[in-house]
Structure 1
């Protein structure tokens, strides 16, 4: 497989991101396939088309890069394998929009090493043979581009727990992945047609960044927007009905427990215990100690979506 290569040796992160706009990278694969909770396909589209610039000054990215050498060296110590840097961005021979910027090559094998760091809260995701789905997509993408047979992934968890795993090439998965990536690249990015925005937290956060304030103007909504409004109102009614039903069931269960702290069945354990929560009475604080209140109050601006049914003429 003859691969096209672009040297990344002298690139800063801004230049590297600009080069990544020319195709689909390994970390993009999980977004397109729906396995990434941190970024939506809509945001990825905006980044690839230059309508939104990815955050560069990120502490997680900085420390991930700093600790990459540490993770790679520990992998060598624990496995006896040798790895080397590849300061290049590779392009698939048949699909030049498929890009790969790997952390390390494994010497003497058709294999790569991906180095990761994460906090201790994510420890369970690495138990046993498990590898988080987002990283599996990334590794399979890299193996597809480079024609490799396997990949290794090593992760430093919480700064004091090291794990490494081996992942075999999965041609069936790769074929499916390439079709999804091809559709995203050709029918969205190149065609200039954004994918439908979803309800993920990442999509909501992106909209808050793109449109943090309003301009005071009013626009006329089209038929498609009115259909969306109707769908929202219908779902709100369903949600209220479900919430009311949920509260009724919970109250029935509370009546059964009465003063008991716990209830047990063959399949469930239910607790109903008193909890004390300390809160600040902001209204009283503002009235009795306005100077203290003003010193610590933190204003924030959010845009709230509200819908009002208008009377028919």
Structure 2
């Protein structure tokens, strides 16, 4: 018996986005595990609970969708295998919140294919066999839902190269993934916040969720939190001073030299010419035009200052 229920694919992208909010999809797995550099578990939780909208469609996402069929055809050409679209999404019977909207299924194999498009400036060493952890987690998620034995990944690095990989089913990793997804989905069901982390994605989510007002009042913060943050800021300042000291020592040794080398690093110290728009002068000489082109933006600035003890 199949471990999943088949669900007819939505007809529009809007319906697809709405369905994604009803469970955990393959692209969510990496975020839940902390592997997605653009979306933290907290950001994803805010999306799933409706506190913020889904991240806007980027050009990279659009290109990835548009080139999906091309990537699949390139993979078939390279491997001699055949694939087809399913026409359905899949829902785990044992864990109904786990959903899978797969790119392709491989003909004659109990396997699927994930099609990816990457920027030419990617730092991932595909040529060395590296696979982004979020891609790997997505494949494990699909195998967890569908019960399939393996998943293939095809990656088109735009204007550079084409790579493909095979990911074998790993029961221990699948069980670990299911535990983490179950933990995350429990946060969603109970409307309980997951732990916040130090990523830019979480900062962005917090800025979207909370909005200050003049009559919002104040709250008491734990001394442990504030003292730890103040200590870290103090150490950061100290480390920056030490870093500058070492930089200056190297500059002193280099003198007029532009390049320097050691067993650990290549160093350059060269002149750099930059041009900047003189905003102050333009404002002074063209005040009306300056005001016409001002664009208002609102941000919340976070500041923390240590309270000095008063001298007796």
Alignment TM-score > 0.5, same fold: yes
Distance 1:263 1:196, change over 3 A: same
1:152 alignment partner, SS class: strand
**Could you tell me how far 1:198 is from its partner in structure 2?**
1.3
Aligned-pair Cα RMSD in Å: 2.3
CA gap 1:250/1:294 in 2 versus in 1, 3 angstroms: same
Cα deviation, 1:205-230, whole Å, max 9, x if unaligned, reads 2233334x632234231243x54333
Asked whether 1:270 is paired with 2:271, we answer: no
Q: Post-superposition shift, 1:70?
A: 1.6
- Bigger drift between 135-144 and 293-302 goes to 293-302
Once structures 1 and 2 are overlaid, which stretch shifts more, 113-122 or 36-45? 113-122
- What is aligned with 1:5? 6
Map 1:268-307; keep pairs closer than 5 Å. 268-291=265-288, 293-294=290-291, 296-307=293-304
CA distance in 2, matches of 1:184, 1:295: 47
1:203 is matched with 202
Deviates more, 1:71-80 or 1:291-300: 291-300
How far off its partner does 1:312 sit? 6.5
TM-score by length of 1: 0.89
Find the aligned partners of 1:223 and 1:306 in 2 and give their Cα distance.
14
Give matches, 1:123-162, under 5 Å.
Answer: 124-159=124-159, 161-162=161-162
Moved more, 42-51 or 54-63: 54-63
- Normalized against structure 2, the TM-score is what? 0.89
Aligned-residue offset at 1:169: 1.5
Give the total of aligned pairs.
309
Distance 2:56 2:88 in 1: 20
Query: Is the contact between residue 13 and residue 56 of structure 1 (CA under 8 Å) also seen in structure 2?
Result: no
Is the 8 Å Cα contact of residues 125 and 132 (structure 1) preserved in structure 2?
no
Q: Please list every run of 5 or more consecutive structure 1 residues that lacks an aligned counterpart in the other structure.
A: none
Deviations 1:148-174 (A, max 9, x none): 111111122215632222221122221
Whole-Å separation in 2 of the counterparts to 1:133 and 1:223: 36
Deviates more, 1:47-56 or 1:79-88: 47-56
Structure 1 range deviating more: 125-134 or 214-223: 214-223
Whether 1:250 and 2:247 are equivalent positions in the alignment is: yes
SS in structure 2 opposite 1:156? strand
Aligned to 1:215: 213
Provide the residue aligned with 2:45 in structure 1.
45
Aligned pairs (5 A) from 1:184-203 = 184-186=184-186, 188-203=187-202
